[in-house]
Each structure stands twice: as structure tokens, then as C-alpha cells.
Amino acid sequence: MAARASRNFIREVLYRNVRFGALGGSRHSSSSAGTAPKIPHFSKKGRLFTGATISLVIAGGAYASTVDEATFCGWLFSATKLVNPFFALFDPEVAHRLAVSVAAHGWLPREKRPDPPILGLEVWGRKFSNPIGLAAGFDKNAEAVEGLLGLGFGFVEIGSVTPVPQEGNPKPRIFRLRQEGAIINRCGFNSEGIVVVAKRLGAQHGKRKLAETSSTISPSNDEAKHGGKAGPGILGVNLGKNKTSEDAAADYVQGVHTLSQYADYLVINVSSPNTPGLRKLQGRKQLKDLVKKVQAARDEMQWGEEGLPPLLVKIAPDLSKEDLEDIAAVALALRLDGLIISNTTISRPDPVSANPVAEESGGLSGNPLFNLSTNILKEMYLLTRGKIPLIGCGGISRKYELEQHLSNFTLLLPTGDLHLFPRLRLI
């Protein structure tokens, strides 16, 4: 592909030079007999520059044609670092929308390098090519699933999706803490609603099925089993409730009935700090009643060979030891398929507390959340005795945090930014 683009560019350069350049041009020839065509004058520097440019293009094209696809892919990802500072010039929410739009239009580089086999794992009968995923909160309305999976994530989680469309909280509602590598948001489940999201996921699903049907290449058994309903990666659907809803269970049940057919796993989000009363659903009785109703709604539906989608609950990092014990007890008693640990925090740990922006209400995510979410992850692993898959979520932004999670903890790990599945190993 790179070689073809280089050849086309060289052809275009040569064509323009033949037509308008030093080689002469038929458009300058005169119809009068005996009149010599006027050849534009080129300085010595101009000829040298043109020759050097053509030589570089030819050399670059020749070199690119010898480079394997994986190396070329690495160049593209390295080049994106030059673009990242551009987004920092915009308002945080504008930058977010712009990033989603870029991914939705397929303007991001695609990861062509295969994941090392050692990174692969199987959970809930689904094969993950790697343990790193994108958490809910980025692509709230399933606009860019294909583009985001193309970046190389092992799984992408969309949402939170509410039954009825809602604007969320008033703007501004996202605030940067640059020095701390963090963000405070109080978006409040801004969502286009389950109907719009279902249509979008349905169209994507149909497009992928059509591509698979028309493909002349027959995948091997391993390739056929790899990935999920979104194609090469696993797709999670995070469900939320409407702000004005009086029946939270009915909202989550509606989400299950409408969206579960497109999901490789489902998430009950009861931990956002930006929807009044939502975190009260983490109480022992409230959570038990809610999970039982949602499980019943899922179980009563008819499922194909892939079986019903696993059901997880996403919890907050601001819970007491007693709260964690209650959640673990419910998860074990109802055989919950997994827990996501954790959502954003309402606390303001150092050094965030010294930043004036810390006074803004909302959930804090980013680097300062790492220690808090990791400690809750460890505690919940002990409470559930390793019987439930855990997705660690929060504060994973650099190689150091990734290595710490992978070397210290258990099964899955990332919040508002990254999800991740480290191998089972307790410190």
C-alpha cells in the first residue's frame, strides 16, 4: 500500500514536470511556423531542488516498498504524537467530540501488527487478543467502535447508554488538570438513547456480516473464534439510568432487551457520581434486587450458539470496607459474571487537592486514581476469593502503571480511559 502510494505520487510529479516544467510544455508552443516554443526559465537552484525532491520521493518509495506492514504501521502511530498537542488547544469537551469524530470517520491509523500470543486470554468463553481495552465514557453512543478497535484494543466498551435521550448536566462539565494528568467530569450520562445506539450497532453488525459473507478468504478455526460481535475485538455495552427515572431496574432491563444482542458483555453502571442517587444502588439489598431483575431479563431472552452475554457491575472507588463486603457477597451469591473496579472518584487525593480546579464537582479520573483503584481491586479480589473475573479500571496512562498492574494483580484491568486484564497473580 505504501509502495503504491509512492509510485502514484512519483507519477504525478513527473507528469507535472513533463507538462509544465523544464522538459518543455506543449501549451507554450506557437501555431506560427518557425516560432520556437517558449520554454520557461528555471534557475540552477530550482533544477537542483526539483531533482532532489524527485530523488527523495523515489528513494522513499523504494524503501517503503521493502518495509513490512508492521514497521510501516509503527511509523504511523509514532507520527500521531505530532498531532496530539493540537487537541490540547481546544475546550476539553470539544476535543473529546473531535477525537470521537476522527475515529468514527476512520481517520486513525490501524494496528496491523499481530498481538504476541502470550497476551491472549479467554474469559466467559470469549477470546481476547490482548488484555487492554477502552473503558466506557469515551464512545458513549457507539459512533466509533470499528475505528477504536482498529487501534489495537482487545475490547471496547461503549456507553453509558440511557433508555431515553438526555443532554446530561449543563456545560462546562469537563475540566483538565494538566500537571496532575487528570480530568474532572460531571457529564451526567449524556446519551443519545438506546434506540439510536441500537440502530448504529445493528448497522455495524450487518455491515460486518455482509463483509464476512462476501469474503473469498475462508478463516481458520482459530481466526473464526477470535474476537466477538464487533469483529476483531470484544464489545462491551455499559447501561445507565435516566436522571429523572423513578424505576432504575426498569431502565436497565430496557437496556438489556434492546442492546444485549449486539454485546459480548453487559455492564450495570451504578457508580457514576454525576447522577443523583445512583450510587445508593450499590447497597446490599438494592444491588441484590437490581441484579436479580436484570439477570432475569437477560435469561428470558433467546440466545444462539454464542450463549447469553456475561453481566458485570461497575462499582465506585469511594466505598467503605463494609460496602465492599456487601458487594462481594451479592456477587458471589448471584454468581455475577464480573466486576469493574472502578469508576471515577469524588475524592481529591494529593497533589490534586492543591489545584484550584479540584473544587469543581464531579468524578476525578487519570493518574491520581491509580493507587485508589488498584487498592480496591486488591481488596475485592480477596473478598471474592478469586472466583469472579475483575476488570481493573482507572489511572492506567503510562507504561509504569501497566507494568504495575500486570505484575501485581489479577484478571482484567482500565476507567474512563483504559480497561485491562492482567493475569491472575496476587502479591
Catalytic residue ranges: 272
3 state SS of 254 = helix
- Written as nine digits, the cell of 411 is 484478571
Q: Which residues, in sequence order, are CB contacts of 306 under 8 Å at separation 6+?
A: 125, 229
Distance CA 294, CA 303 (A): 16
Q: Say how many residues make up the chain.
A: 427
- Written as nine digits, the cell of 32 is 506560427
Contact 357, 184 (CB under 8 A): yes
Whole-Å CA distances, 394 to 108, 259, 364 = 24, 25, 10
3 state SS of 113 = coil
Which residue, among 367, 365, 375, 368, has the nearest Cα to 349 in the 3D structure?
368
Extended beta strands in 69-131, E state: 121-123, 126-128
Q: Kindly report the three-state secondary structure assignment for every residue of 170-231.
A: CCCCEEEECCCCEEEECCCCCECCHHHHHHHHHHHHHHHHHHHHHCCCCCCHHHHHEEECCE
- Written as nine digits, the cell of 118 is 502470550
Distance CA 52, CA 46 (A): 10
Contact 122, 130 (CB under 8 A): no
- Written as nine digits, the cell of 181 is 494528568
Distance CA 408, CA 278 (A): 31
| Cα Rg of the chain, angstroms | 27
Contact 391, 413 (CB under 8 A): yes
The residue to which cell 449543563 is assigned: 170
Q: Which residues, in sequence order, are CB contacts of 419 under 8 Å at separation 6+?
A: 132, 133, 134, 135, 155, 157, 340, 391, 392, 393, 412, 413
Pairing outcome for strands 174-177 and 182-185? antiparallel
